[in-house]
Amino acid sequence: MKSAKFLLLLFSLNIVSNIVTAAAPPTCPADIGSDCATDSGEWTGEFFPGIPKIKYEGPSSKNPLSFKWYNAEEEILGKKMKDWMRFSVAFWHTFRGTGGDPFGAPTKMWPWEDGTNSLAMAKRRMRVNFEFLEKIGVDKWCFHDRDIAPDGKTIEESNANLDEVVALAKELQGKKISLLWGTSQLFVHPRYMHGAATSPELGTYVYAAAQVKKAMEVTHYLGGENYVFWGGREGYQSLLNTDMERELDHMARFFEAAIAYKKKIGFNGTLLIEPKPQEPTKHQYDWDAATAANFLRKYGLIDEFKLNIECNHATLSGHSCHHEVETARINGLLGNIDANTGDPQVGWDTDQFMMDVGEATLVMLTVIKNGGLAPGGFNFDAKLRRESTDVEDLFIAHIAGMDTLARGLRNAAKLIEDGSLGELVRKRYQSFDTELGAQIEAGKADFELLEKKAIEWGEPKVGSAKQELAEMIFQSAL
């Protein structure tokens, strides 16, 4: 009798346990074939069950899964930090990065991957993306068309694949998440080996136009605020077999068609060009910010585009990121920043997360001068190191990148509020704050007048640049 009662008790407890388990949301890992997958293969659990929603805990926190400097709602110089930053997660590096490089095979196989590039896998990745955004506290994302949906055998099949994934993205975006920008991947497929808009093959030019047309449509459908052109292969390997003038003309015509279609479909987003000097081509036509600005002016496109400055591309072109964002700003072209950096000892595009507080401070000084980046933002076009293979590393990298830029914003605000650096610069140019200086800056001083003044004044007295003092003031804010 006692044994029968004991068995009845165990049976009752088992039923209660099953009810509780059924009622609780699944939190098991997103492994293929796990109990959280339905018969159709659709995932019903969390992809990051061990990761909480990331919160601000302040500089003294030792918790790697917390913000130390980025406090989204805190006001700096009259604007919330989240509005200065407008952070965005790049789908391609974050969820399609494999850790592979020219010298080694992929090192990352995330638990939700099944080893295919199927439509079902694309949808699963999209769900991963939005869970990540929600937990990291970022409300914007970016994509390449072929990164979020598989390429088909025909344009029609590729478009259908993209439509299906984008429909899911639209549903998952809801009212809290928005698209910062979309773009087309016009550099991976063999058809683009000679370029896209600059290819000598008419068929490739036509195919690229059709691909951009569709990518612009889905960007518009998702409420994207910008559309980016990155000419990864818009350049040359040798001028011996290249008609550079004709290729540049073709690229301008391509951009003109994009502008016309943007207006036709009512897309009010900003068109962005992303400068890069080389790699994979020997020379790319959008070498740096100044080159891109010159191209836009020559072809009468300057009022239709802004620039997406990537910090790692800046260093590859022989400039600092500060130089490139400042060049874009003074030309009225600063539209967006791809927040990454390169290794000074490595000569290629390493796309590392920005961790240098000094670099971030310099960038933020220009962003503040620019009044912010909207409708652009800071997009994390950055990838984990090949050796970083834990799912947790995806969060740690983004947290560190966000904290670095937030710290840069705080430092830049201190420098501006202190005023010492600004005063040093003002004094250096104070000789132009005179009647003659004003005439020169207004374009009203001719050479005859200037020669008269040179004879009258004699040898000029040239003052110190005070560079070390400027560096001292800057370092004191870090």
For residues 121 and 109, is the Cβ–Cβ distance under 8 A? no
Copy the structure tokens of residue 474. 């800057």
Are the C-beta atoms of 378 and 87 separated by less than 8 Å?
yes
- Spatial CA neighbour of 263 closest among 214, 207, 304, 218: 304
Check the CA dihedral 126-132-135-136 and report its sign: negative
Residue found by looking up tokens 């937990």 in the block: 135
Q: Which two tokens stand for residue 461?
A: 């007295």
Are residues 412 and 450 in contact, defined by beta-carbon separation less than 8 angstroms?
A: no
Q: Does 220 participate in catalysis according to the annotation?
A: no
The one-letter code for the residue type at 289 is A
Element housing 132 (H / E) = helix 119-136
Give the integer Cα–Cα distance in Å for 364 and 356.
Answer: 12
CB 89, CB 133: distance < 8 Å? yes
- 88 has which bridge partners? 379
Locate tokens 């069950």: which residue? 49
What one-character DSSP code corresponds to residue 477?
T
Catalytic entry in 144, 220, 250, 322: 144
- Catalytic site positions: 144
